[in-house]
C-alpha cells in the first residue's frame, strides 16, 4: 500500500463528500481506498467512491487518436497538448475525522477546505481507523455514483490487508454488515461474495 502520498487537491467540497483533482493523469487512488485531507480544525478521512478522467473543459469531448499508435504513451507523445487538456479527479465520501490522536467516526462539523491537499492514507492510519467499523452505516445508506456495494467491498478488501489478521477482520466486518443489512439478504450476499481476496483458501 501507498505510504501517504500527496495526490490531489480538493476542488469541490460539501459536508458529506469532496471532489479532488489529481496532479497526475490517471493518478486517482484505488476505489475504496482511504484518503486524508484537511478540514477547518481537523483531519478529514474519506473513502474513494468514484474516479474519472475527462477533458478539463466540460464542453470538449475526447477523440480517439491511437489508430496508428502502439500504445497510449505514444498517443500522448504525439499529441502533447492532451496531457494539459485532460484531468483526473475522484470523489471521496467523508467517513470520519481526527483531532490530535483521536479519530471520530462521524461527520466533521465543517467540510473539507477548498484547495486542501489530499493524501493517500498509510497502512497504520487505515488500521487505526478501522478498529471500529461504525461508519459502515454511512456507506450503506448513501447514494453513490458508483454502486455502493462495490465501494464497500473494495474498501473492506483494501482495509483487510492492513490488518494483522485479514480474514478475522473480514469476518467481523461481514457480521457488522449482516446486522446493517438484516432485511436485505440479497445485498449482503452480493457484498460478501466481493470480499473474496485472492489469497483466501
Q: Is residue 178 close enough to count as binding another protein by CB under 8 A?
A: yes
Q: Is residue 80 close enough to count as binding another protein by CB under 8 A?
A: yes
Least Cβ distance, residue 57 to another protein (angstroms): 7
Cell of 2: 501507498
Query: Is the CB of 57 or the CB of 141 nearer to another protein?
Result: 57
Name which of 147, 136, 135 is nearest 105 in CA terms: 135
Least Cβ distance, residue 55 to another protein (angstroms): 10
Q: Is residue 92 close enough to count as binding another protein by CB under 8 A?
A: no
Name which of 113, 109, 84 is nearest 97 in CA terms: 109
Contact predicate 178/188, CB 8 Å: yes
Residue list 109-148, contact with another protein (CB under 8 A):
none
Given 61, 84, 131, 143, the residue binding another protein (CB under 8 A): 84
Least Cβ distance, residue 185 to another protein (angstroms): 5
Name which of 79, 111, 82 is nearest 94 in CA terms: 111
Contact predicate 91/127, CB 8 Å: no
Least Cβ distance, residue 192 to another protein (angstroms): 5
Residue list 30-49, contact with another protein (CB under 8 A):
none
Name which of 37, 152, 26 is nearest 89 in CA terms: 26
Phi, psi angle pair for 149, to nearest 5° = -60, -40
Contact predicate 31/159, CB 8 Å: no
Q: Is residue 163 close enough to count as binding another protein by CB under 8 A?
A: no
Sorted by sequence, the CB contacts under 8 Å of residue 17 that are 6+ apart come out as 46, 49, 91, 92, 93, 94
Q: Is residue 63 close enough to count as binding another protein by CB under 8 A?
A: yes
Least Cβ distance, residue 11 to another protein (angstroms): 19
Query: Is the CB of 28 or the CB of 177 nearer to another protein?
Result: 177
* Contact range with another protein by CB under 8 A, out of 25-33, 91-99, 135-143, 181-189: 181-189
Give the separation between CA 109 and CA 75, rounded to whole angstroms: 45
Binding residues for another protein, rule: CB under 8 A, are: 57, 60, 63, 65, 76-85, 167, 170-171, 174-175, 177-179, 182-186, 188-189, 192-193, 195-196, 200
Amino acid at each position: 500500500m501507498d505510504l501517504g502520498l500527496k495526490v490531489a487537491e480538493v476542488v469541490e467540497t460539501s459536508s458529506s463528500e469532496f471532489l479532488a483533482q489529481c496532479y497526475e493523469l490517471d493518478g486517482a487512488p484505488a476505489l475504496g481506498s482511504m484518503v486524508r485531507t484537511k478540514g477547518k480544525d481537523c483531519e478529514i478521512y474519506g473513502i474513494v467512491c468514484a474516479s474519472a478522467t475527462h477533458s478539463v473543459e466540460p464542453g470538449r469531448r475526447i477523440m480517439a487518436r491511437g489508430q496508428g499508435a502502439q500504445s497510449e504513451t505514444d498517443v500522448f507523445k504525439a499529441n502533447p497538448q492532451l496531457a494539459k487538456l485532460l484531468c483526473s479527479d475522484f470523489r471521496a465520501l467523508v467517513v470520519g475525522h481526527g483531532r490530535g490522536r483521536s479519530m471520530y467516526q462521524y461527520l466533521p462539523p465543517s467540510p473539507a477546505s477548498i484547495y486542501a491537499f489530499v493524501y493517500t492514507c498509510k497502512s497504520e492510519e487505515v488500521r487505526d481507523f478501522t478498529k471500529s467499523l461504525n461508519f459502515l452505516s454511512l456507506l450503506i445508506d448513501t447514494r453513490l455514483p458508483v454502486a455502493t456495494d462495490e465501494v464497500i467491498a473494495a474498501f473492506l478488501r483494501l482495509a483487510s490487508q492492513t490488518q494483522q489478521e485479514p480474514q478475522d477482520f473480514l469476518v467481523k466486518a461481514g457480521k457488522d454488515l449482516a446486522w446493517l443489512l438484516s432485511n436485505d439478504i440479497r445485498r449482503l450476499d452480493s457484498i460478501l461474495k466481493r470480499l473474496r481476496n485472492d489469497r483466501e483458501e
